[in-house]
């Protein structure tokens, strides 16, 4: 059994840092948090603690679910409305970390630069949780994605996941890294033809190192009968004028496309949908995206309690 002390003070920066045992332990705590999260209760477990949300990019799900998680655990929350009203434009990340460690007990940071939360963490005496960095990783998104699969299907082992859309998105890297920690998982990749929207080489190299089974597909129909999870993200290219071109049909999930799917197929989504996910899927039993965003609360409650040594 993993020791609680293994989490106390730990930074959460990459899914590559987690073992299967770590993930299972987080999920055990998350399950205990569910009655508080889903019955909209509050405890005083973290009453002496304050969390800062340092978001340098827009967010609905990650920021509000972390803030809700902290409030339900009885803790306090601070952060700016937007980075423009902070001093971060004229202060280095290491100096910002040194200032803020004097105020709070844990930091959740989202930044447009790859590696910014890691640089912050290196200079911070309090634990740092990445809320997503650039085109690199979004580890807590992957944790709640896996938690959704576990809670909705009962097991993560042997799941086959279709990732579709722009593979330069950070959530498209952390999820396969996490899946690779489980037995006989498989990933299908449906990406646009442009090189800069395909799965980046650095991520593919990690898949190979982790022993993850993956392959490229050309359309949903190729794998619809065998996949357990569909995970779409927008796939819109920009024109030279900066306008989005219409999304190609092969990157759209519709109710019609799900007619040959497994009965318990989960359609998940980490971000606001644009037009890659039709609203006619909402009324099918496959639609799990709103439930998935709700699972963010117990998972993030568990992470906060663990890194603060109070789970």
Q: Which residues bind ligand CP (CB under 6 A)?
A: 59-63, 132, 138, 141, 270-271
What is the distance in angstroms between the CA of the first residue and the CA of the last residue of the chain?
15
Tell me how far, at minimum, the Cβ of 136 lies from ligand CP, in Å: 13
Output 101 or 275, the one with its CB closest to ligand CP.
275
Output 60 or 216, the one with its CB closest to ligand CP.
60
Tell me how far, at minimum, the Cβ of 62 lies from ligand CP, in Å: 3
Tell me 185's DSSP state: -
Output 118 or 261, the one with its CB closest to ligand CP.
118
Nearest residue to 200 via CA among 170, 223, 175: 170
Tell me how far, at minimum, the Cβ of 158 lies from ligand CP, in Å: 25
Tell me how far, at minimum, the Cβ of 253 lies from ligand CP, in Å: 17
Tell me how far, at minimum, the Cβ of 296 lies from ligand CP, in Å: 8
Tokens 């022993």 identify what position?
A: 211
Output 36 or 143, the one with its CB closest to ligand CP.
143
Within 10 angstroms of residue 254's Cβ, the number of other Cβ atoms is: 15
Strands 186-190 and 128-133: unpaired
Give residues with Cβ within 8 angstroms of 272, minimum separation 6. Answer: 60
Whole-angstrom CA distances from 155 to 42, 94, 151, 268 are 29, 41, 8, 16
Output 301 or 311, the one with its CB closest to ligand CP.
301
Alpha helices in the chain (DSSP H): 20-38, 61-72, 93-100, 116-122, 139-153, 171-179, 201-210, 289-307
Q: What are phi and psi of 215, to 5 degrees?
A: -155, 160
Tell me how far, at minimum, the Cβ of 195 lies from ligand CP, in Å: 25
Output 230 or 311, the one with its CB closest to ligand CP.
230
């Amino acid at each position: 059994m993993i020791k609680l002390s293994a989490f106390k003070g730990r930074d959460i920066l990459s899914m590559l840092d987690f073992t299967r045992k770590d993930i299972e332990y987080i999920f055990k705590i998350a399950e205990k948090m569910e009655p508080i999260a889903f019955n909209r209760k509050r405890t005083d477990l973290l009453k002496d603690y304050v969390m800062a949300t340092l978001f340098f990019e827009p967010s609905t799900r990650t920021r509000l679910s972390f803030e809700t998680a902290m409030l339900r655990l009885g803790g306090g929350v601070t952060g700016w409305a937007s980075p423009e009203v902070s001093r971060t434009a004229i202060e280095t990340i290491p100096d910002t970390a040194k200032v803020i460690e004097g105020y709070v007990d844990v930091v959740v940071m989202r930044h447009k630069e790859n590696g910014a939360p890691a640089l912050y963490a290196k200079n911070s005496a309090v634990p740092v949780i990445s809320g997503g960095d650039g085109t690199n990783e979004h580890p807590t998104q992957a944790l709640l994605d896996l938690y959704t699969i576990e809670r909705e299907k009962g097991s993560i082992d042997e799941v086959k996941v279709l990732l579709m859309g722009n593979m330069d998105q950070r959530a498209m890297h952390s999820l396969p890294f996490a899946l690779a920690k489980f037995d006989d998982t498989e990933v299908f990749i449906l990406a646009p033809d442009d090189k800069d929207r395909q799965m980046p080489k650095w991520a593919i190299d990690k898949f190979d190192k982790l022993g993850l089974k993956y392959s490229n597909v050309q359309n949903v129909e190729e794998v619809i009968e065998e996949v357990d999870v569909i995970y779409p993200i927008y796939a819109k290219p920009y024109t030279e004028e900066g306008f989005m071109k219409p999304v190609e049909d092969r990157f759209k999930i519709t109710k019609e496309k799900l007619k040959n799917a497994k009965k318990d197929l989960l359609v998940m989504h980490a971000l606001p949908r644009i037009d890659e996910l039709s609203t006619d899927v909402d009324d099918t039993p496959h639609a799990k995206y709103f439930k998935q965003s709700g699972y963010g609360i117990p998972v993030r409650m568990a992470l906060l309690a663990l890194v603060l040594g109070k789970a």
